[in-house]
Amino acid sequence: MEKSQGKRESWGSRIGFIMAAAGSAVGLGNIWRFPYLTGTNGGGAFILIYLVFVLGVGLSIMTAEFAVGRRANLAAAGAFKKFNPRFTFAGVLGVLSAFFIMGFYPVVGGWALAYVFKSVTGLLSNSAAIGDYFGTFITSSIEPLVWMLIYLLANILIVARGVQGGIEKASKVMMPSLYVLFIIIAIRSITLPGAGAGLEFIFKPDFSQVTGSTFLAALGQAFFSLSLGMGCMLTYGSYLSKEENLQKNALIVTLMDTSVALIAAIAIFPALFAFGMEPAVGPGLVFVVVPSIFAQMGGIGVILSVIFFIALTLAALTSSVSLLEVVVAYLIDERKMERKKSVNLAGGIMVITGILSSLSMGALSGVKILGVGFFDFFDILTDKIFLAIGGMLIAIFVGWFMKKEDLKDELTNGGTIKFGLFELWYNVTKYIIPIAIGVVAVAGIMSIEQTALMIFGIALIVVLAIFSKKL
Ligand code: PFF
Alpha-carbon span 229 to 227, nearest angstrom: 7
* Closest C-alpha among 28, 23, 25 to residue 112: 28
**Contact yes or no for 258/51 (Cβ under 8 A):** yes
Residue 336 burial (C-beta neighbours within 10 Å; 0-12, 13-18, 19+)? exposed
**Side-chain half-sphere exposure of 296, counting CA atoms within 13 A:** 17
Q: Mean pLDDT throughout 435-439?
A: 94
User: 24: CA distance to ligand 1 center in Å?
Assistant: 6
Mean pLDDT of the chain: 90
How many domains does the structure of the chain reveal?
Answer: 1
Which pLDDT value is given to residue 280? 87
Which pLDDT value is given to residue 6? 53
User: 191: CA distance to ligand 1 center in Å?
Assistant: 31
The SS3 call for residue 369 is: strand
Question: Could you read off the pLDDT of 237-267 as tens digits, one per residue?
Answer: 998 888 899 999 999 999 999 999 999 999 9
Whose alpha carbon is nearest atom 11 of ligand 1? 227
Residue 129 burial (C-beta neighbours within 10 Å; 0-12, 13-18, 19+)? middle
Which pLDDT value is given to residue 57? 97
Which pTM was predicted?
A: 0.92
Residue 257 lies in a domain: yes
**Contact yes or no for 217/41 (Cβ under 8 A):** yes
Chain-centre distance for alpha carbon 379: 11
Residue 5 lies in a domain: no
Residue 279 lies in a domain: yes
Residue-range definition of the domain harbouring residue 189: 14-470
Work out which ligand 1 atom sits closest to the CA atom of 25.
1
Residue 384 lies in a domain: yes
Confidence band for 1, pLDDT divided at 50, 70 and 90 = very low
Question: Could you read off the pLDDT of 168-189 as tens digits, one per residue?
Answer: 777 777 777 778 878 888 888 8
Work out which ligand 1 atom sits closest to the CA atom of 225.
4
Work out which ligand 1 atom sits closest to the CA atom of 232.
13
Confidence band for 7, pLDDT divided at 50, 70 and 90 = low
Query: Which range is least confidently modeled, 18-32, 56-70, 404-418?
Result: 18-32
Kindly tell me if the per-residue pLDDT of 5 is higher than 50. no
Confidence band for 368, pLDDT divided at 50, 70 and 90 = very high
Which pLDDT value is given to residue 183? 87
Q: Mean pLDDT throughout 327-348?
A: 92
Work out which ligand 1 atom sits closest to the CA atom of 230.
13
Kindly tell me if the per-residue pLDDT of 359 is higher than 90. yes
User: 26: CA distance to ligand 1 center in Å?
Assistant: 7
Alpha-carbon span 257 to 269, nearest angstrom: 18
Kindly tell me if the per-residue pLDDT of 431 is higher than 70. yes
**Side-chain half-sphere exposure of 106, counting CA atoms within 13 A:** 34
Residue 315 lies in a domain: yes
Alpha-carbon span 234 to 232, nearest angstrom: 5
User: 349: CA distance to ligand 1 center in Å?
Assistant: 19
Work out which ligand 1 atom sits closest to the CA atom of 326.
13
Q: Could you give the angle at the alpha carbon of 307 between the alpha carbons of 116 and 236, nearest 5°?
A: 90
User: 40: CA distance to ligand 1 center in Å?
Assistant: 21
User: 319: CA distance to ligand 1 center in Å?
Assistant: 5
CATH number of the domain within which 79 lies: 1.20.1740
Alpha-carbon span 17 to 163, nearest angstrom: 10
Q: Among 65, 159, 232, which is best to mutate for testing ligand 1, by the most ligand atoms less than 8 A from CB?
A: 232
Q: Mean pLDDT throughout 310-327?
A: 90
Q: Among 31, 37, 175, 227, which is best to mutate for testing ligand 1, by the most ligand atoms less than 8 A from CB?
A: 227
Q: Mean pLDDT throughout 140-164?
A: 89
Residue 1 lies in a domain: no
**Contact yes or no for 76/234 (Cβ under 8 A):** yes
Whose alpha carbon is nearest atom 9 of ligand 1? 227
Alpha-carbon span 40 to 138, nearest angstrom: 21
Question: Could you read off the pLDDT of 43-70 as tens digits, one per residue?
Answer: 999 999 999 999 999 999 999 999 999 9
User: 320: CA distance to ligand 1 center in Å?
Assistant: 7
**Contact yes or no for 37/265 (Cβ under 8 A):** no
Dihedral angle sign, alpha carbons of residues 165, 144, 309, 199 = negative
Burial code of 8-46, b = ≥16 C-beta within 10 A, e = fewer?
ebbbbeeebbbbbbbbbbbbbbbbbbbbbbbbbbbbbbb
Residue 3 lies in a domain: no
Work out which ligand 1 atom sits closest to the CA atom of 315.
5
- Ligand 1 pocket residues where CB is under 6 Å: 24-25, 27-30, 101, 224-225, 227, 230, 232, 319, 322-323
Residue 8 lies in a domain: no
Kindly tell me if the per-residue pLDDT of 301 is higher than 60. yes
Confidence band for 4, pLDDT divided at 50, 70 and 90 = very low
* Closest C-alpha among 158, 103, 125 to residue 314: 158
Strand partners, 68: none
